[in-house]
Amino acid sequence: MNKLRTLLTITLVLLLFLSKAENGYNLWLRYTKVENQVLLKTYQDATLNIVILDNSETSMVIKNELYLGLRSLLSTEPEIANTINDQTSLIIATLNSLPENIKANITIEDKTLGDEGYFIFTNQSENKKSIIITGNNDKGLLYGTFKFLSYLQQNQSIEDINFTSIPKIKHRLLNHWDNLDRTVERGYAGFSIFDWHKLPDYVDPRYVDYARANASIGINGTVVTNVNSNALILTPQYIKKLVTLANTFRPYGIKVYLTARFSAPVEIGGLKTADPTNNEVQNWWNNKAKEIYKLIPDFGGFLVKANSEGQPGPQDYKRTHAEGANMLADAVAPFGGIVMWRAFVYSHEAPDDRAKQAYSEFKPLDGKFRANVIIQVKNGAIDFQPREPFHPLFGATPKTPLMMEFQITQEYTGCATHLFYQAPLYKEVLNADTYAKGQGSTVAKIIDGSLHNNNISGIAGVANIGNDINWTGHPFAQANWYAFGRLAWNHELTAEEIAEEWLKMTFTNDKDFINAAKQIMINSRENLVNYMTPLGLHHIMARNHHYGPGPWVDGGRADWTSLYYHQANDDGIGFNRSSTGSNAISQYFPEVQDLYKNIKTCPENSLLWFHHVSWDKKLASGNSLWDKLCYKYYEGVDSVISAQKQWNKLEKYIDKERFDHVSSLLKIQVNEALWWRYACVLYFQQFSKQPIPKELEKPKFSLEHYKNIEHRFVPGIKNE
């Protein structure tokens, strides 16, 4: 407790120092002075009496957060006590701890709130109003406290509050693709924040700020190691280091998880096999689980990438994914742990369409996994593309719970150089109707467990966090971390609502700024799709680092080339996944098949995902496919230029540091959008043999010029 108190004190001092410079470090927890004059008049000249009735490490976190937040927001010194009196204006307590006279005014039942839900309401008692934040335990109180502070941050009235919030998904995690040497695979914001070299003795105050940020948006778990895992993380030396992180995160309601390298029994255990049916292997994992849980009783469990992209797995021993997952699940089950087994499996040796392979692998295993196994499925069947149809596995395994895996980091979407607000992408997938049990069987209802009555539910986001001062590289990339957390808690929120919240807390409450900046954010996803991969094109990025266009990429394993996916030739372009092609469309339910199977009815934004279309084909717009493709590439660039002009008008509303930072990155984005446009149009023109529509500006350089643009040492990959 004393160590935590010291660490919190250091963190508060650091925050106060950093708040003087608008460098983005404080994220959406800036706590700048409230501009609502009614709120200020109510509290500025009065003593804000707060009572926290519960006594735990989390209660101390709540106390410190309130002190930091209210002192800055309301310019008043809050008094925090543990006894209610006539002057008390804010009471934070579990339902069981509340006085009977207050509890009598509560209509919501404790079983409704669950372990993490909270209820904020205004209590009227003998002409005295007080605000109550309550829940079943201190986690709910913590989430409720952050929500209360967000009201003030957004200049919203706190008079007569009556607000209940319960998370729709149980396990809401960040997946860090961080390596033990502090490099981050697909990381574009510096090195890992986890300094394994200095752990366990040095606790970086940034760990607390990381936990604060996650708790404020409801994230309750973190996988701190890369899915391409290193068995060393399971050694005693590193488990002791993990204990420090677990102890730091626990008061914020965050559990730690590890990636488990399937071959660890061989690599660090001295066994000759990692076969999941082998008794010695099973005992090794059982003992490893006991070792971890003895030191970290609330350890969350394991995330596993197996038999994919060279990673070891049960298929090395002719065992199924279910046999491998169940072995690990049995090891952590006595302690309440779970296993998240990734469905991102494919092989270049398989003759079938890569988009079909995960479904083909896991659909037959439905119902064969232990109750504490959840299959982690990427939002689309290929790999975090700017747009993909939802993964066909969603809805296909009613007896096996599935969790979503979104990518927050921008591997294929500009590597944190481009402004790309991902909430519209997330919402497009979450709202997609699978028709698994008829109309209304959305992906969201599958992953929250409600459609198939699953007892376990989860969602993961591949983190975009690094040790850059602003955490995410691009100031607007913070919004993707924020949006993921908010949708993980409540997938019914809209992208617009989330953008507005984030802008108010991160920049300013000025309506003119909010309206303009929100529009830039909402449009950014479609803009990027248009100048990178319009009409359903996908995976045409440069090889390896995926930064910039590479529709010409060929050679090596086919499914890592662009030609495999766009299949451009003299006849047309696109991957035929209809019944006359790979028939990947058959993996969807009939209603979805009916939408996509016919070129005439297939939505244009997915046309080339499912069909090989002739260059002269007339689309619904009246344009030929070739002309439409050109128009989309040009529209994408023009929209980014428009966003840049909109941003330049907002300088007067915010601090110079962040305005200039975003302005500089938008210049890069405009130039690179032009690069994408001309490289792709010129490349595909070789096959269409048609002119670029005459009203469109012609490229200044040849295709060879664009093919020779080469980026070296792009962050996030192993560079030679």
DSSP string, 315-337: GGGT--HHHHHHHHHHHHGGGT-
pLDDT digit string (tens) for 569-617? 999 999 999 999 999 999 999 999 999 999 999 999 999 999 999 999 9
Which of 165, 199, 227 is the C-terminal boundary of a domain?
165
For range 621-631, the mean pLDDT: 96
pLDDT for 84 equals: 84
Could you tell me if 453 and 386 lie in one domain? yes
Tell me the pLDDT tens digit for each residue of 518-537.
999 999 999 999 999 999 99
Task: Provide the 3-class DSSP secondary structure of residue 403.
Answer: strand
To 10 degrees, what angle do helices 236-249 and 279-295 make? 40
pLDDT at 693 over 60: yes
Element (H, E) at 258: strand 255-259
Higher pLDDT: 34 or 407? It is 407
CB 479, CB 420: distance < 8 Å:
no
DSSP 27-46: TT---PPP--HHHHHHHTTS
Contacts of 41 (CB under 8 A, 6+ apart): none
Tokens of 340: 């998240």
pLDDT band at 8 (very low <50, low <70, confident <90, very high): low
CA–CA distance, 69 with 75 (Å, rounded to integer): 10
The backbone torsions φ and ψ at residue 197, rounded to the nearest 5 degrees and listed phi first, read: -65, -35
Flag whether 695 is in a domain. Answer: yes
Q: Is the pLDDT of residue 257 over 90?
A: yes
CATH number at 324 reads 3.20.20.80
Residue 498 lies in a domain: yes
Rounded CA-CA distance 294/701 in Å is 64
Where among 452, 470, 505 does a domain terminate?
505
Q: Are 377 and 366 in contact (CB under 8 A)?
A: no
How far is C-alpha 594 from the chain's CA centre? 31
118-125/162-165 β-pairing: antiparallel
Q: Encode 189-221: b = buried (16+ Cβ within 10 Å), e = exposed.
A: bbbbbbbbeebbeebbbbbbbbbbbbbbbbbbb
Q: What is the mean pLDDT of residues 104-133?
A: 88
Tell me which of 148, 165, 182 is where a domain ends.
165
**Taking Cα atoms as reference points, which of 394, 331, 329, 317 lies closest to residue 368?**
329
Residue 568 clears pLDDT 50, i.e. is over it: yes
Tell me, what's the pLDDT at 39? 64
Within-domain flag for 626: yes
Residue 5 φ/ψ region, left for φ over 0, alpha for ψ in the -120 to 50 degree band, beta for the rest: alpha
- For residue 514, give the nearest of 155, 163, 159 by alpha carbon: 155
185 and 92 assigned to the same domain: no
Statement to judge: residues 198 and 338 lie in one domain: yes
Average pLDDT score over the chain: 94
**pLDDT tens, 412-444?**
999 999 999 999 999 999 999 999 999 999 999
Question: Can you give the pLDDT at residue 706?
Answer: 97
The DSSP bridge partners found for residue 165 are: 118
Measured CA to CA, the distance from residue 64 to residue 519 in angstroms comes to 35
462 three-state secondary structure: strand
552/443 same-domain check: no
Inter-residue contact 90 to 48 (CB < 8 Å): yes
For the chain, what is the total number of helices (H) and then of strands (E)? 23, 16
- Looking at residues 676-702, what average pLDDT do you find? 97
Compare 390 and 159 and report the one with higher pLDDT. 390
The boundaries of the domain holding residue 79 are 31-165
| 522 within a domain of the structure (yes/no) | no
Whether residue 19 contacts residue 26, with contact meaning beta carbons closer than 8 Å, is answered with yes
**Among all chains, which residue has been given the structure tokens 């490229």?**
699
Are residues 397 and 363 in contact, defined by beta-carbon separation less than 8 angstroms? Answer: yes
Q: pLDDT tens for residues 329-363?
A: 999 999 999 999 999 999 888 889 999 999 999 99
> What is the number of alpha carbons within 13 Å of residue 499 lying toward its C-beta?
24
- What lies within 8 Å, CB to CB, of 273 at 6+ separation is 265, 266, 280, 281, 317
Distance CA 324, CA 339 (A): 10
- 411 domain-assigned: yes
pLDDT of 365 higher than 70: yes
Strands 572-573 and 613-614: antiparallel
Residue 108 lies in a domain: yes
Whole-angstrom Cα distance, residue 175 to residue 462? Answer: 5
The structure tokens 């599935």 sit at 402
Is there a single domain that holds both residue 292 and residue 346? Answer: yes
Residue 690: CATH number of its domain:
3.90.1330.10
What is the CB neighbour count within 10 angstroms for residue 498?
A: 25
Residue with structure tokens 């500089």? 664
Task: Assess contact for 518 and 496: CB atoms under 8 A.
Answer: yes
CA dist., res. 471 & res. 636, Å (int): 28
Q: Identity (one letter) of the amino acid at 349?
A: E
Whether 432 and 313 share a structural domain: yes
Taking only Cα atoms into account, the Rg of the chain, rounded to an integer number of angstroms, comes to 26
Does 662 or 3 have the greater pLDDT score? 662
Query: Which amino acids are annotated catalytic?
Result: 309, 383, 411
Indicate whether 86 pLDDT > 90: no
Are 210 and 353 within one domain? yes
489 and 555 housed in the same domain: no
Residue 25 lies in a domain: no
Report if residue 716 sits inside a domain: no
Please tell me the distance from the alpha carbon of residue 411 to that of residue 480, in angstroms, as a whole number: 13
Are both 326 and 455 inside the same structural domain?
Answer: yes
* AA identity, residue 174: L
| 186, 95: one domain | no
pLDDT per residue as tens digits for the range 14-51: 554 444 569 999 999 999 998 876 666 666 555 578 88
Q: pLDDT tens-digit profile of 160-215?
A: 899 999 999 999 999 999 999 999 999 999 999 999 999 999 999 999 999 999 99
**What is the rounded average pLDDT of the residues 373-382?**
98
**Beta strand residue intervals within 666-716, DSSP E:** none
Same domain, 370 and 257: yes
Domain CATH code at residue 137: 3.30.379.10
Do 185 and 291 share a domain, yes or no? yes
Answer whether 134's CB lies under 8 Å from 118's CB: yes
pLDDT for 12: 56
pLDDT at 373: 98
User: What is the number of structural domains in the chain?
Assistant: 3
Q: How many CB atoms lie within 10 A of CB 86?
A: 9
